[in-house]
Amino acid sequence: MSLTNAPIIESEKLILRGPQTQDSEPVISFLQDETRAKGFGHIPERGEAWRWFALNVGHWHIHQYGYFTVEKKSGEIAGISGIWNPETWPEPELGWVLFEGFEGKGLAFEASSRVRQWAYEELKFTTLTSNITPYNIRSIRLAERLGAKFENSYDNSNMGKTFLCRHPNPDHI
């Protein structure tokens, strides 16, 4: 059962749904992995990583959007993707993370494309950004593949120097 009011949206290979209690362990494991979570926000302490999971649940209740759980149609939890806009963020951000073993299969592109479509069609957003640290080359490439363009860099209070990449508006996808 979802912990949020998130809709269930689908793509060819994926189901994107609200976080469920059983999703906490893969999210916590990802956040605690220093290498894998570096570009997202490594959280070494388990309790703090659990609080990030709970923060995402609350984010859904406050904003009516947040990170979806990315589930393959086979039932495997592959990652998270969604719209993120906590305090200190310049504006709503399209974000994505794939868990170990799911990268290199086009799943991040498929999930983030579907989330962006949902944000534009259902939430009536007219723009989205992706905030990416300069060393996160894979995410920079994915943002470019999604049509996002570098707009500027800024000092993100959580991540340090960050590139703000602007996605095309709904009329230009």
Quick one: pLDDT at residue 88?
A: 87
- Closest by alpha carbon to 128, among 164, 90, 166? 166
Query: Which residue is associated with the tokens 């959580």?
Result: 158
Note whether 135 and 120 are within 8 A (CB): no
Q: What are 88's two structure tokens? A: 């200190």
Q: Would you state the pLDDT for residue 108?
A: 98
Blockwise average pLDDT, block size 10, the chain, 173 residues: 95 98 97 93 96 97 98 97 93 97 96 98 97 95 97 91 95 84
Tell me what pLDDT residue 158 has.
82
Q: Could you tell me the sign of the dihedral formed by the alpha carbons of 21, 50, 6, 9, in that order? A: negative
Place of tokens 């949206």: 9
For residue 100 the two structure tokens come to 């170990």
Inter-axis angle of helices 24-32 and 46-63, nearest 10: 120
Per-residue pLDDT at 39? 87
The whole-number pLDDT of residue 76 equals: 96
Return the pLDDT at 173.
77
